[in-house]
Structure 1
Amino acid sequence: MTLSGNQKRKMKSAARLYAVQALFQMEHSGQTVESVIHEFEEYRFGADYDDGELVEGDAEHFRFLMQTAVNYQASIDQLTDRALVAKWPIARIDPTLRALFRAAGVELTHGDTPPRVAINEYVDVARAFFPEGKEPQFVNAVLDHMAREAKPDVF
């Protein structure tokens, strides 16, 4: 079965959302990256919930985000810290946002997704977690700063 470009984009978007959830879960449960990847791929991708079936995630992109976030967490967190206000180091921000910045940091530093596309995708993820809050604007500002440092030639 050949997937359309739109289906592939939706699957990558789903993988980003799953990666943020999985990174959050890892931080709170102490699970290994391998066990969380397995759990998400086996039980969460495309799961049927009360409010409708979730889109199948792009497993390859999900694994790339997870493994790279774990392998490069220190440098990604440092990049995030530099983009945050000095009084708010990454350790003090909401754990969901911390997970989001780690997943987004992977794409901005190690991925081939154009930075503006990655920023838009993760602002959408922030909207999914914080539909009523100011977090999406905050995410946009922080990721813009991170992207300009990570890939200045694109701006």
Structure 2
Amino acid sequence: MYRTITIACAATLLSACGSETSGEFTTADGETGEYSIDNSTGETTATIETADGTATLRSGADVPVDLPDGFSLYPGASVVTNTVVNQGEGTRVVLLSFESNDSPEDIADYYKDQAEAAGIAIEVDATINGGRMLAGKAQDGSVFAVNATAEDGKTSGQLTTGLGDLGE
């Protein structure tokens, strides 16, 4: 199922790069989908039919932030883009990009506290070129990752959460 979500995201984002504002696509596995792009907001929506059911994607700066229980947007941060992928039966992935004036360390610590409180075991905690990256997994298969990097006085953050049967 994780493979299917990845395919849906890739196909939709590639389609969004062209000049078309809507269309259909077929993956290498023969799964079919359709997408549309709202020219006024830049929001992209897509659906893809798979053997596991219908997956939906919604992506854009104005897509409402709806993170799993226990997680929230970093205080004072501004959303750059929010992507939500749903594939029935509680399987959901959120990819949230944001900016903040705070340090990568402060952002990573904030999300580390939230992840641990949600029962996620931190498996990766790395400082790379002044940025910080965390990743982990819960007993129920839920996943979490955050990456925060600073440049020109701003910190860019990417938070990924995944709930449900994400597969291998």
TM-score of the superposed pair, with normalisation by structure 1 = 0.36
Structure with more of its chain in strand, by fraction: 2
Structure with more of its chain in helix, by fraction: 1
TM-score of the superposed pair, with normalisation by structure 2 = 0.34
